[in-house]
A and B are shown apart, each in its own frame.
Chain A
Amino acid sequence: MPRDTSIRSVLIIGSGPIVIGQACEFDYSGTQAARSLREEGIEVTLINSNPATIMTDSITADNVYLKPLEKKYIIEILEKHKIDAVLPTMGGQTALNLAIDCENAGIWKKYGVRIIGVDIKAIETTEDREQFRLKMLELGVNVCKGNTARSFLEGKEIAQNIGFPLVIRPSYTLGGAGGGFVEKPEDFDKALAAGLHASPVHEVLVEQSILGWKEYELELLRDSNQNIIIICSIENFDPMGIHTGDSITVAPAMTLPDTVYQKMRDLAIKMMNGIGQFAGGCNVQFSVNPEDDTIIAIEINPRVSRSSALASKATGYPIAKIAAKLAIGYNLDELKNQITKTTSAFFEPALDYVIVKIPRWNFDKFKGTNKTLGLQMKSVGEVMGIGRTFQEALQKACQSLEIKRNGIGADGKEMTNYEQLIDSMTNASWNRLFSIKDAMKFGIPTNTIRKITKIDPWFLNQIEQLNEMEKEMGKYTLDTLPEGMLRKAKQQGYADRQIAHILRCLESEVFKKRHELGIQRVYKMVDTCAAEFEAKTPYYYSTFEGENESVVSDKKKIIVLGSGPNRIGQGIEFDYSCVHGVLAAKECGYETIMINCNPETVSTDFDIADKLYFEPVFWEHIYDIILHEKPEGVIVQLGGQTALKLAEKLDRYGIKIIGTSFKSLDLAEDRGSFSTLLKNNNIPYPPFASVTSAEEAIELSKQLRFPLLVRPSYVLGGQSMKIVINEQELEAQVVDIIKDNPGNKVLLDHFLDRAIEAEADAICDGEDVHILGIMEHIEPAGIHSGDSYAVLPPFDLSDNVMKQIEDHTKKIALALNTVGVINIQFAIKDEVVYVIEANPRASRTMPFIAKAYREPYINYATKIMLGHAKVKDFTFNPHKEGYAIKVPVFSYSKFPDIEKELGPEMKSTGEAIYFIDDLQDDYFQKIYAERNLYLSR
């Protein structure tokens, strides 16, 4: 059926603030869907409370509502616009739940809105564990033995019937919250109570445990003519027992024979057809018994999911984009493959490479929490590595993580204690992958590792091969190493730094040698069809082989460095900035090149930049791309600390940094020089010192006076930042920081107790400064700016204070020769404005201000950076109406053993925007009254 022309206006529901289990992958899917519908001439209205999203941009949708995802706002929209249909499948569980709420309240019916892309009954069947189980039995699909309990007694009875080990899964929870495995009867009561409590409907599924079985996912697409295709098969490296979101996953499936795969494919199709009729995407999870290849269905999600984003990036097949077209009536055979542009969209992608996804955790932000992985998702982001082989992809994923590793192992950070290794493999956490390799190297038999981890032996063998390679290489020096072995090591994904470590030489020496030998990266295309057809989409990854497919054009080029994996302190807002930077550079006539490794993002969508290199934001990869593409320069201001910290090396290698120079970037980071700059400009700042030992710190604390804010230099999201009140605490904190960051300086600032905090974002071309917005924090100083409620514009700062902020901002921006963006943080005490820090890069608040004031500030800033415009070329006309409150959102429910307590170290995972007309607003009054509630130190 061709497009349903009765649909002229569609409402897309977003997923709200970023929380664990629902991250920026839904910005990617929502954005794709919106663009896909607009291509068809459909008017798109979007509701999402998350301002740091591309989907809520005027470039994406016709009408944007930055409103809480609640019924009353849906009604508000429906009152104002004639909406023909709502597409609720692009905003995760949040959007679906809201759509169901509205359905139950009869809202859709009242306003004559059709629900497209989903079947409400299908959601109910799949979300309710018992209904799902019964449905599967009806379809003849194997599921785990188990039953639903609605009371404590019922749960006990079921457990008695199926025995142990078993698993508890609460109904209707995000990311599996409240669930868990129970090995022994004595642990059951507590787990059951917790599960019932976590479920909003007080219902849990008590089920046979299939811990250790192999785990798979299939991504499906179906049109209204019942045509179904499987976009991707994904195999979990970590077997059953660890939430998929917390598992290392691989595509295509590595260890599945065709017979088992086709059975799984048949089951998936049967399940999708069985749960209801809708046109769109679907995700099905299976488990396979390694002993006899028996397949069990785990769950089915009738919507675009986290894995759909991964599958889209892994295969090049834009699931959300096509799903949106299917929702408005198209059939798959009426659409074209978006990568080849000539073949049909009805096909199943064939991969001639491997992708590995590794989750990114932030346990360091939640000290004292249980770090063991299980049924409840705990990771805050993810990275994807693409390689021609599993080993190469695995290494690249490890290089993308930004956890100070250069790949998997071979960096002198190996764990070498038997008990520790066994424990780390038994209680899987963020480092299990590394521990497995270390354990093999240490001499723990692979069989033992297999018994503990239940990981498929093929994967373990792959890691074993890496150890063998390292052992072999270790026999040589750089001079004696055979060329073939160096080439092989590069093909296995080893970074020059790892090879340098093995050969006991310098990274630069390895680089030099391999370039002399012609062992250089070539770039291959992600083309959906294993090169069977010619593809036109410039989506590349690197490898070490014969043919290079990334042809360099003679246009002038700009590289934008992405922000890597999402983590606390560096989230979606930086991807927002990167995307706008790319688009602005395009407008200036550059060929834009994006480098990033985060599969959840819009920046890694193949039709954002002119060329996408899906590569680790890791020096070696970036430098090779630069050598290949020879860009005019690199933009580092937009990709957060990830991109910024590469500035030094770029500068050293003579590569032009676009906008503010490295010297200025460095000056702002260097507390000593920066303070001199402040002093020379008569700008007050809290007394500070930088020290390299605890002794020195205690000595200087006498002049600085307690309380003191202690932190390492060059940090992100206030990592390891703490306020101390006496010498004992100071000593402990300094020792801690030096241990974790050897060679790094420790900064001590006198902490301005009970001060008010504010921050300003500005753009500057080196001559003129324009302040975009000033935000005042509601909580007193001491809470990280990312965690505090903040109000735009300030609500109770005096004219005198505002003037000081403006003056200081302008002076600092000019003194730093800023070309581009700058964010400055202030503390205000007794009508004096002190400068805490200045960041000459896109800030977390920049997208917020741009959204609230409805002006494209990153676009302006990028044009200034590129020298294509001056501040005075822009007419600023911010939409100022009432106040916009930045609401921090936390994921504490995932860490039940952690108290909600805020301090200088950032803990929130996302944010929302909330508009109020005046300060009498109830919401504002409430948060203002509670501003001291969660204050720790």
Chain B
Amino acid sequence: MNNSNSQEAILMLEDGTVFKGKSLGTIGTTGGELCFNTGMTGYQEIFTDPSYYGQLVLTTTSHIGNYGVIPTEVESDKIQIKGLVCKEFSTHFSRKMADTSLQEYFEKAGVVGICEIDTRELVRHIRNKGAMNAVISSEILDVEELKLHLKEVPSMAGLELSSKVSTEKPYGLEAENSKYKVAVLDLGVKRNSMDELIARGCECRVFPYNTPFEEMEAWGPDGYYISNGPGDPAATTEAVNTVKEVLKIEKPLFGICMGHQVLAQANGIATYKMKNGHRGLNHPVKNLITGKCEVTSQNHGFAVDAEAVKGHPEVEITHINLNDNTVEGIRMKNKPAFSVQYHPESSPGPHDSEYLFDEFISMINNSIKK
């Protein structure tokens, strides 16, 4: 990695497993739920994605940092991950358009990480044992002392995190000659999802995660966008209540990731914590309506219960994951509301699912005509 400041570092998992490697980023100690992402590009987008708030991210691709960082390729205004675990960390970068190295970027943001460990072994370990908490430290190399830190890391189940990443005050984002008004419920929204809406002529107003329905409706939106975000969907009572109200007035609603789980909950459909979740840029999804498949960008540890959807009179499954047949998308049979578990706004990832934003817009058009 050619980083002369690199020191010994240690990673310890909840089950006591220890990996020794080299430090990256800031020297320090950090903890969170350890999850992996199999994407081979897009590290900067991943690290700034609010959905990863509070997590230690393991990138499975061999090299990280090769193309540096660039201010325009962020999904929020700061690094959201708690720490990075990777194989080879490159302090040297070659992209002419980039302005700094990932190392500097992490140092500035105080992000702690570990590299030069057998990340593949680690993935296989958590693949078999399930996602778990972990700590990384480049200052405490004593295992017993680290165990104390590990205990302080909260469990992801039942954890509400939107409050940590959501905007505090409402704000507006406007395109020139906007045709539609979209209220965005920010549970940890990614910048690119708003870019997609703006590109389609939407004026967006972004509201904090706990905004009551009335306050959003008072702005007079044509549609609602329920964003992605971190944490356990079961802990987002306020958002679920807001969505219930939106459904009552039958205005178009589009939910993504956490927003998808919130729509399910608003219909009384349960979500559950998956053993490992889906985190990568290569997940196969089939659209059951069109029969077409799309390669999707995914990042979720919770999923919507398929059986509960099948048993629901008003909700149907629209998308499934081809690997494990989990629910990837639902829609309401008699209301203009739909949602997907994955990230049609990608960033990082393939653009195969951008059509969903078009569908949202035509839903708004239909609703306005009425």
Contacts and interface: CB of A to CB of B under 8 A. Distances in A.
Interface of A: 225-227, 229-230, 233, 252-259, 261-262, 265-266, 290-293, 331-333, 342-344, 346-354, 388-390, 456-459, 461, 465, 468, 524, 529-534, 545-547, 549
B62 A458 contact: no
Contacts, number: 171
A461 B62 contact: no
Given A255-B94, A258-B45, A545-B118, A530 B123 contact: yes
Interface in B9-54: 19, 36, 38-42, 44-45
Nearest to A460: B94
Contact of A333 (B118, B127, B280, B286): B286
Contact of B351 (A266, A465, A530, A534): A266
B18 to A, nearest CB: 11
Contact of B2 (A253, A254, A465): A465
A333 B123 contact: no
Task: Find the residue from A265, A351, A352 having the highest chain B CB count within 10 A.
Answer: A352
A233 B350 CA distance: 13
B121 A349 contact: no
A329 to B, nearest CB: 14
Nearest to A229: B295
Contacts of B349: 258, 262
B95 A532 contact: no
A353 B88 CA distance: 11
Contacts of A459: 94
A552 to B, nearest CB: 18
Contacts of B70: 257
A49 B44 CA distance: 52
Nearest to B322: A344
B93 interface: yes
Given A291-B96, A530-B123, A545-B118, A350 B61 contact: yes
What bracket does the count of chain B residues touching chain A fall in? 35 or more
Contact of A347 (B73, B90, B323, B351): B323
B347 interface: yes
Contact of A532 (B62, B90, B119, B127): B127
Task: Find the residue from A256, A259, A529 having the highest chain B CB count within 10 A.
Answer: A259
B292 A262 contact: no
Interface of B: 2, 19, 36, 38-42, 44-45, 60-63, 66-67, 70, 73, 87-88, 90, 92-98, 117-121, 123-124, 127, 276, 280-284, 286, 291-293, 295, 322-324, 346-351
10 contacts: A258-B39, A346-B322, A348-B295, A349-B282, A352-B60, A388-B87, A388-B120, A458-B66, A530-B123, A545-B120
Given A225-B293, A389-B62, A458-B90, 18 more contacts: A233-B40, A254-B66, A257-B41, A257-B73, A258-B281, A259-B73, A262-B348, A266-B351, A343-B284, A344-B284, A346-B284, A347-B295, A349-B282, A352-B38, A352-B61, A390-B88, A456-B94, A465-B2
A226 B40 contact: no
Contacts of A227: 292-293
Nearest to B295: A348
A546 B349 CA distance: 30
Contacts of B121: 545-547
Contact of A258 (B41, B98, B295): B41
A257 B67 contact: yes
A contact patch SS: loop
B292 A389 contact: no
A529 B124 CA distance: 11
Contacts of B92: 457-458, 461
A265 B294 CA distance: 13
A397 to B, nearest CB: 15
Contact of B282 (A332, A347, A352): A347
A226 B281 contact: no
A353 B117 CA distance: 13
B291 to A, nearest CB: 6
B61 A530 contact: yes
A326 to B, nearest CB: 13
A564 B85 CA distance: 36
Contact of B63 (A254, A349, A545): A254
Contacts of A350: 38-40, 60-61, 280-282
Contact of B60 (A233, A530, A534, A547): A530
Contacts of B280: 350, 530, 532
Q: Which 4 A-B pairs have the closest CB atoms?
A: A258-B42, A344-B322, A547-B121, A458-B94
Contacts of A549: 124
Contacts of B2: 461, 465, 468
A532 B123 contact: yes
A474 to B, nearest CB: 18
Contact of B119 (A253, A352, A461, A533): A352
B293 A351 contact: no
B248 to A, nearest CB: 37
Contact of A252 (B40, B67, B118): B40
B244 to A, nearest CB: 35
B63 A257 contact: no
B335 to A, nearest CB: 29
Nearest to A533: B323
